[in-house]
Chains A and B, each alone.
Chain A
């Protein structure tokens, strides 16, 4: 049935608002039950292991290559102005302020987010969620809350690992391969990186991205139709929605944190 553009726009707007409302209600219900994570920290630590440890390899390898590329590109540009001694600072600021949190969040969405969505969706399809409910166990408390906090804790740690390995990659290319003085490389970094303005703001970003990606992944899994097709669609939506949300939020946070 064809509808006029205004009706379509109205329908799209109202369904988006309803979707956002449902999403924030879901978030609120998880926060309201978060005491469960404090009472049973073992469930959270299991999720940190599952979400964090299993993402370490992809995060570390990606961080290393991003550091390599940053150092190379930075050197080519800085060299034109005779400012190659600032390479360490450029690599560190780029990683700590932006690339660390953002690239980690995008990789996190692809590695851990998809796995969370598929796990929850398949638990629904296999009646595991229903089984918990009839066993008088609240699946939000038992399944979702530990995963949310696991993701929130794991994400900043992974972003820190990414930045650290990236800086090492920059050092390998800049100092070991190109031949920039090691003392200059590290002292520029030490003098130019501010703990509060740069490192702390980067940590805040990674926490916000951790909440966003984990929440989107859990929501999509929770809302997934309990069929193979439904789980597959939900998994795709997790990557698309959380990646766009991370990039949008990054712009917003950068404007707030580093603007005048």
Chain B
């Protein structure tokens, strides 16, 4: 099992990172630091590049420029074995849960323990049931993935992400699809884990209320860059029009609701109209 001894080094650091796919850059010149024990929320509208940041943090994609450091090591420079060692210190909650559909709830949560530890069956069972209890699903351990609801699946995925008690946990939309009770419990669980294990938590989310309640630091991304950063109180007091529009969910402001017209769309529209006449 990975150790949970922490040093003063940051758990995750982005140094002037630009991210994108091919020639297209989604986010540019982004810098942020997540310290052990800290809960950091990365917020922004749909398509603003939040999940892309998560992919960069786990080494699933490399930065176009700049460097991503996990536990002080440059992820892009890590060997495959080094990257695996770094990933063993991380836990990731995927947006869709990404549960293994051929395994039941218990085996899904047990999966990282079976792969990375040599626990006895009794110890493993105790740890898995403990984590399932934390997300309120101890009595669902025997169920198949196809027998549980979407919200339950996300809670199982959360139990799986924390079962190794990692030093850095990345949550991709942890509150999506949860009922208000589960949402509140999940938020409290994330905060408790960070406090108890001194692990760094990164929340990729656009749920303002829940994330502001537990986050130490909030980064707001949009328009291809970092728009604002600070504590929840600091951002709540901000008069920046983008921040205000995002926090208050206003339809009018610097963020356009409508997807902008492009030459390709105009060309397509002309072809469509021509085809009908």
Q: Which residues of A contact B (CB under 8 A)?
A: 119, 122-123, 126-128, 130-131, 133-138, 142
Are A130 and B111 interface neighbours, CB within 8 A?
no
CB <8 Å contact, A134 and B87? yes
Q: A126-B96, A126-B101, A131-B94 are in contact. List 5 more A-B contacts (CB 8 A).
A: A119-B102, A131-B92, A135-B112, A135-B115, A136-B84
Q: How far is the CB of B56 from chain A (nearest CB, A)?
A: 12
| B96–A133 touching, CB < 8 Å | no
Q: With a CB–CB cut-off of 8 A, which chain A residues contact B269? A: none
CB proximity of B118 to chain A, nearest CB, Å? 13
Complex-state Cα separation, A58 to B85, whole angstroms: 45
Total A-B residue pairs with C-beta atoms closer than 8 Å? 46
> Do the beta carbons of B87 and A127 come within 8 Å of each other?
no
Give the interface of B toward A (CB within 8 A): 58, 60, 84-85, 87-88, 90, 92, 94-96, 98-102, 111-112, 115-116
Between A and B, 25 residue pairs with Cβ closer than 8 Å are A119-B102, A122-B101, A123-B100, A123-B101, A126-B98, A126-B101, A127-B94, A127-B96, A127-B98, A128-B98, A128-B99, A128-B101, A130-B94, A130-B98, A131-B94, A131-B100, A134-B92, A135-B92, A135-B111, A135-B115, A136-B84, A136-B85, A136-B88, A136-B116, A137-B115
Q: Which of A119, A136, A142 contacts B87 (CB 8 A)?
A: A136
Chain A binding surface, main DSSP class? helix
B100–A128 touching, CB < 8 Å: yes
**CB-CB < 8 A to A119: which residues of B?**
102
CB distance from A141 to the nearest CB of B (A): 10
In angstroms, Cα B94 to Cα A126, docked, is 10
Let me know if A133 and B60 touch, CB within 8 A: yes
Q: Which residue of A lies closest to B84 (CB)?
A: A136
B164 to chain A, nearest CB (A): 8
**Which residues of chain A come closer than 8 Å to B87, judged between CB atoms?**
133-136
Q: How far is the CA of A36 from the CA of B84 in the complex (A)?
A: 16
Most-contacted residue by chain B among A136, A137, A142 (CB, 10 A): A136
Main secondary structure on B side of the interface with A? loop
Given that A136-B85, A136-B87, A142-B115 are contacting pairs, would A131 and B60 also be in contact in the complex, using a CB cutoff of 8 Å?
no
Find out whether the CB atom of A130 lies under 8 angstroms from the CB atom of B60. Answer: yes
Closest Cβ of chain B: how far from A96's Cβ, in Å?
Answer: 35
CA distance A128 to B92 in the complex (A): 12
Output the nearest chain B residue to A137 by Cβ-Cβ distance.
B115
> A240 CB to closest chain B CB, in angstroms?
26
| Bound Cα distance from A137 to B115, whole angstroms | 7
Query: How far is B58's CA from A130's CA once the two chains are assembled, in angstroms?
Result: 10
Could you say which residues of chain B place their CB within 8 Å of the CB of A126?
96, 98, 101
Distance from B86 Cβ to chain A, minimum over Cβ atoms (Å):
8
Is there contact, CB below 8 Å, between B101 and A134? no
Inter-chain CA distance A131–B85, complex, in Å, is: 15
Using Cβ atoms and an 8 Å threshold, which residues of chain A touch B102? 119
Residues in B with CB closer than 8 Å to A134 are 58, 60, 87, 90, 92
Per CB-CB distance, the 8 closest pairs between chain A and chain B, nearest first, are A131-B98, A136-B87, A127-B98, A136-B84, A136-B88, A134-B58, A134-B92, A137-B115
Measured CB to CB, the closest approach of chain B to A158, in angstroms, equals: 22
A134, B102: Cα distance in complex, Å: 19
Count chain A CB atoms within 10 A of each CB in B58, B96, B98, B99 and give the residue with the most: B98
CA distance A127 to B101 in the complex (A): 11
How many angstroms between the C-alpha atoms of A169 and B111 in the bound complex?
46
The CA-CA distance from A122 to B112 in the complex, in Å, is: 21
Query: How many angstroms from the CA of A131 to the CA of B158 in the assembled complex?
Result: 12
